[in-house]
A and B are shown apart, each in its own frame.
Chain A
Amino acid sequence: MNHEITHGPSFAVLKVGLQRGDVLTAEAGSMVSRFPRVKMRTRINAPRSAGFFGKLGAFLTALVRKFIAGESFMVNDFSCDEGGEVTLAPTFSGTIAVRKLHGDRILLTRGAFLACAGDLQLKMRWGGLRGLLAREGLFFMEVSGTGELFYTSYGGTLEVPVNGTLTVDHGHVVAFDPALDFRIRLPGGGFLGLVASGVGLVMEFSGRGAVVLQSRNVSTLASWLTPRLP
């Protein structure tokens, strides 16, 4: 499998060349184009499991992912025995980044997952009760295993190394190292601070690791648009 990311940073797309045996799992609705010989199989967004109860469990997992974590219920598997190419794009304007995992892990925020290949496990991780207040969901996607992960951002990305503590707006976080401890809390100043500062919930990271931030925030865009609607 080979890949190419073009048209960044504003409108990045991902092109993946598939050989026999390669499978690319992509977010539902992300396909731009493909050769007709590239096969697309749609399946529910949960680990493949055998048996009736395994399938029922997978179905329930996918339901939880859809309605609680705000991820898609279905994902698409692309494969091509004769060799072919598929192009994927995210919904928002921004970049696409690739991360190779060798048994390590990464946490993604909602909407950051675009595609993956190889032997990767996708799991949900609870963001704490405070996350209930966050409009962008309270779950994170934990990706572990060996393979390639493609994730997307709204705007440009910036990788910030943390050694100590770092406080960032929750809506600007794309991904972070699971080695970091994090806390979701209101910005300083209590309730007034939340309203007056214009900052949503903040995430406070501590420890050693890296945080990937995005230069735009979807919630901020929505709150800018809301008073302008008829």
Chain B
Amino acid sequence: MQIDLQHRPSQAMAHVVLTPGESVTAESGAMVGMTPNVQVQTGSGGLLKGIKRMFGGESFFRNTFICSQGSEVGEVYLAATLPGDLVVLDVGASKYYLQNHAYVASTPGVDVDTRVGGFKTFLSGEGLFVLKTTGQGQVIAGAFGAIEEVRVRGEYIVDTGHLVAWEDSLQFRITKAADGWISSWLSGEGLVCHFTGNGTLWTQTRNPSEYGEEIGRRLPPRES
């Protein structure tokens, strides 16, 4: 398998080349185009996994793209919903956590499990669930805006709406942005992720829910 990223950084798209028998799994709706020798299988990877994903705000189903045996190489193009960059993470020696909406695709050897990111996140609209990757292979993560790679040595704080992914060597806890609940709410920052340890994390330069709110305010109210 070969993955290369095109049209970076504002409108990135992943070009995946599959040899016969190889496959790639992607978030529902991520497919842009593919060659005719690629078969699509839609599945949840287990009922419980699908339900957990739905709780995390993702789709119940995911699509697996398989290159037919005895054919030429197959090609699949994948993209995220919002304009922005993509990053390919090598899973194996390093394991990662992904903010649940960052998931775009993964290779078959990678297990992507939905987890609760902390009880306090129940109170925020974002980041209640995180994805943990284990196994061997690659994951493609997508961002809203540009992606910044940050090497953390010690401590670092990131707004939960700006998180893409982080290495599991970093400990994280979701905390209030300011000292008190009221000032956290007033500050407009809501919840932040407090990281400690050594490792790499990736941030996105725009916040999808903040953007949604700003646009939403300008739209007519939904008729019920």
Binding site for B on A (CB under 8 A): 6-7, 10-13, 27-36, 40, 42, 72-74, 76, 87, 89, 91-93, 135, 218-219, 221-222, 225-226, 229-230
Contact = CB atoms under 8 A, between A and B. Distances in A.
Contacts of B145: 7, 10-11, 89, 93
Of the four ranges (under 10, 10 to 19, 20 to 34, 35 or more), the interface on chain B belongs to 35 or more
18 contacts: A6-B148, A7-B148, A7-B205, A13-B205, A29-B188, A31-B159, A32-B205, A33-B158, A40-B177, A40-B178, A40-B189, A87-B203, A218-B214, A218-B218, A225-B215, A229-B220, A229-B222, A230-B222
B192 to A, nearest CB: 8
Contacts of A11: 9-10, 84, 145-146, 205-206
Contacts of B206: 11, 89, 91-93
Contacts, number: 111
Nearest to B184: A42
A88 to B, nearest CB: 10
Contacts of B177: 31, 40
A74 to B, nearest CB: 5
Q: Which 5 A-B pairs have the closest CB atoms?
A: A29-B188, A28-B188, A11-B145, A222-B218, A7-B146
Nearest to B211: A91
A143 B155 CA distance: 35
Interface in B189-223: 189-190, 194, 203, 205-207, 210-211, 214-215, 218-220, 222
Interface in B143-193: 145-146, 148, 150, 155-159, 162, 177-178, 183, 186-190
A12 B145 CA distance: 8
B9 A76 contact: no
Given A33-B150, A229-B219, A10 B83 contact: yes
Contacts of A74: 186-188
Contacts of B9: 7, 10-11
B148 A13 contact: yes
A74 B188 CA distance: 8
B146 to A, nearest CB: 4
Nearest to A12: B205
Contacts of A28: 186-189
Contact of B162 (A32, A35, A222, A226): A32
A89 B205 contact: yes
Given A11-B9, A11-B206, A40-B178, A225 B159 contact: no
